[in-house]
Chain A
Amino acid sequence: MGKEMESVKNIEKLKETFSNVTKEISKVIVGQEEVIEQILVAILCDANALLESYPGLGKTTMVKTIANVLDLKFSRIQNTPDLMPSDIIGTYVIEEDKGKKVFRFQKGPVFANVILADEINRATPKTQSALLEAMQEKQVTVGNQTFELERPFFVLATQNPIDMEGTYPLPEAQVDRFLLKILVGYPKFDDEMEIINRYTKASADAGVRVLLSKESLTLLQNLTRQVPIADDIKKRALEIVAKTRTAKDLIEYGASPRASIGLILAAKAKALLDGRKYVSAKDVEDMAYPVLRHRLILNFKAERDGKTPDDVIREILK
């Protein structure tokens, strides 16, 4: 009982902890609070996210900063059409040991805690599937040997909405494996002013502090799943997902049950980030956009009317 009360008291401090994490990240990243929050949601859910933005909006810096603040090993993979699965996973190399030549496994960049897979749609389907398998199974298999990936493991893949020539768009089944699709927009005028002020000085290194350990992060991931949710809010989440399947006037294909799980989980993480011990209906509605936007295939009529998935989700939420 005493231990439990201690844990309860520690939970009271969570809001402050997350607030400090956000403050620390903001030393490097100006604005983009919503994007940072959604990345943290994905990390708390022990899931992966797809980041979509135009080039030069600070995606790599943002993910690297988050990894530093959370004391996570960061690795970046720049996807190109000639990138091979072994370039990501690793490969066996021949080494000499006591006069004998032996095979030793050389780990690839996937052996990290946070992977930034830049422009994932530029890699070939073969390479994409190798990465997506690592994302899903949290392990990689080379030859007849399986290697467990270090936990926490989080892939943040980016794709560029323009310049689609020579790309291999991710199949729907693989897109579905990303918990969130996060849209990074252009910064506001004042934020951009701050960015140029900050990064045109002699030294732009802000030097962020580590605020959470890997162990703490794993504990927080467990806590996220324990956030209680009311039955009617669960129903509301399911209704939202179900509507994507029945709104045939706008949507060709709706979201899968994986989306329902993701929506509840993301709402729980959002509640935890806000320092709440329960999920509110607003959490579900807020998370419906990043959870569902990449899982909907709009029909011809909706596309002809110039509707985006976010517009359709907005209509579903009404």
Chain B
Amino acid sequence: MPPPFIKALFNEVKLEMLKIALISTFLDTIMVFFVVYFVVSFFNIKFMYLLLIPGLMAVIFFFVSILVRIKRLRLKSMEDANPQIKEMLRTAHDNMDAENNIMAAALFAELKEKMKTVSSGNLLESKKVVTRIISTVIIVFLIITVSAFNVNLKKIDIPFEKLRFMVPGAGPGVIEGNLTTLVFNETDVVYGDASIAKLGNEEIDLNMNPTISEIDFNKISEAEQNELREGGVPQEIGVTPDAFNNQQVLDEAEQAANYSQRIKNI
């Protein structure tokens, strides 16, 4: 039976190697995130997806990478990083079950002492780490430059039709296709004629501007007093007794409000 300390020693070595694998993978993952973010930022997609896509890819990369690294986790990595104890470590590992062997016992005792002076930091290849950090800093710098100096990038439209939902303005609330396919509740409550909700083949041309960057300070006139309303649909209809003294009118108004609310929720 090998002395318990030698087994503990090898377990410690494995743990150290696992830590190093985690650190390396984490560094790689950060780099992958920023690279993907930088590439995706060239596409005309919503900000949420701009974060979601790189995040998702980084998570996938992290798990794949850590699995590969753990599979490759061998004593050889520790030996390569610490050549001064390479053969000693290998010999101790191969002779862990040596019984009644004074030389093996002496080897284990010496290895225990030597391991105190051996740094697992050697496993982190400093050149690779520095390269990764510098690359990440460069990418982050590029991202910051593009956004801070308002570099007007010509956004690339997503070429795939199925991914159109990522395009700004095409939120999940937008229903594509013919509205006649919608099934209206045929209950006692009248929501109105379905034809009213039809848009037909008419195209709506929406021009959204300006953005902050496009403000021309020379063209600014006196501020106008505008009333702001929350949401596109009134939550409550207010009537004055003079204009709507008829109960029927009030009921219809309430139905119209409910209808609008339901339409909004579809």
Say whether A281 faces chain B, with CB atoms less than 8 Å apart: yes
Question: A8 CA to B90 CA in the complex, in Å?
Answer: 20
Q: For chain A residues 225-241, which have a beta carbon within 8 Å of chain B?
A: 226-233
Q: Is the CB of B94 within 8 A of A231?
A: yes
Least Cβ–Cβ distance between B207 and chain A, in angstroms: 73
| Most-contacted residue by chain A among B88, B94, B103, B104 (CB, 10 A) | B103
Stretch at the interface among B14-22, B106-114, B122-130: B106-114
Least Cβ–Cβ distance between A2 and chain B, in angstroms: 12
Specify which of A4, A278, A279 is in contact with B102 (CB 8 Å cutoff).
A4
Q: Is the CB of A228 within 8 A of B87?
A: no
Q: Is the CB of B95 within 8 A of A228?
A: yes
Which bracket fits the contact residues of A?
A: 20 to 34
Say whether B91 faces chain A, with CB atoms less than 8 Å apart: yes
Say whether A7 faces chain B, with CB atoms less than 8 Å apart: yes
Interface string of A3-24 (1 = CB under 8 A from B): 0110110011000000000000
Q: For chain A residues 181-201, which have a beta carbon within 8 Å of chain B?
A: none
Question: A226 CA to B98 CA in the complex, in Å?
Answer: 9
Please give, as numbers and ranges, the residues of chain B lying within 8 Å of A11 by CB-CB distance: 102-103, 106
Least Cβ–Cβ distance between B76 and chain A, in angstroms: 10
Please give, as numbers and ranges, the residues of chain B lying within 8 Å of A230 by CB-CB distance: 87, 90-91, 93-95
Please give, as numbers and ranges, the residues of chain A lying within 8 Å of B93 by CB-CB distance: 230
Say whether A80 faces chain B, with CB atoms less than 8 Å apart: no
Say whether A107 faces chain B, with CB atoms less than 8 Å apart: no
Say whether B105 faces chain A, with CB atoms less than 8 Å apart: yes
Q: Is the CB of B101 within 8 A of A226?
A: yes
Please give, as numbers and ranges, the residues of chain A lying within 8 Å of B109 by CB-CB distance: 5, 8
Q: Is the CB of A232 within 8 A of B105?
A: no
| Most-contacted residue by chain A among B88, B105, B106 (CB, 10 A) | B106
Please give, as numbers and ranges, the residues of chain A lying within 8 Å of B90 by CB-CB distance: 230, 232-233
Q: Is the CB of B87 within 8 A of A12?
A: no
Say whether B92 faces chain A, with CB atoms less than 8 Å apart: yes
Binding site of A, secondary structure by majority: helix, strand, loop or mixed? helix
Question: A223 CA to B106 CA in the complex, in Å?
Answer: 11
Interface string of A270-291 (1 = CB under 8 A from B): 0000000111110000000000
Please give, as numbers and ranges, the residues of chain B lying within 8 Å of A278 by CB-CB distance: 87-88, 91-92, 107
Q: For chain B residues 101-151, which have a beta carbon within 8 Å of chain A?
A: 101-107, 109-110
Q: Name the residue on A nearest B87 (C-beta).
A: A280
Question: A277 CA to B105 CA in the complex, in Å?
Answer: 9
Q: Is the CB of A277 within 8 A of B87?
A: no
Please give, as numbers and ranges, the residues of chain A lying within 8 Å of B92 by CB-CB distance: 228, 278
Specify which of A4, A5, A231, A277 is in contact with B107 (CB 8 Å cutoff).
A277
24 residue pairs of the A-B complex, CB under 8 angstroms, read A4-B105, A5-B109, A8-B105, A11-B103, A12-B106, A223-B102, A226-B101, A226-B102, A226-B103, A226-B104, A227-B103, A228-B92, A228-B98, A228-B104, A229-B95, A230-B87, A230-B91, A230-B95, A277-B104, A277-B110, A278-B92, A278-B107, A279-B87, A279-B91
Q: B: which residues have CB within 8 A of A?
A: 87-88, 90-95, 98, 101-107, 109-110
Can you name 6 extra interface pairs (CB under 8 A) apart from A230-B95, A277-B104? Answer: A4-B105, A12-B106, A226-B104, A228-B91, A278-B87, A278-B91
Q: A: which residues have CB within 8 A of B?
A: 4-5, 7-8, 11-12, 223, 226-233, 277-281
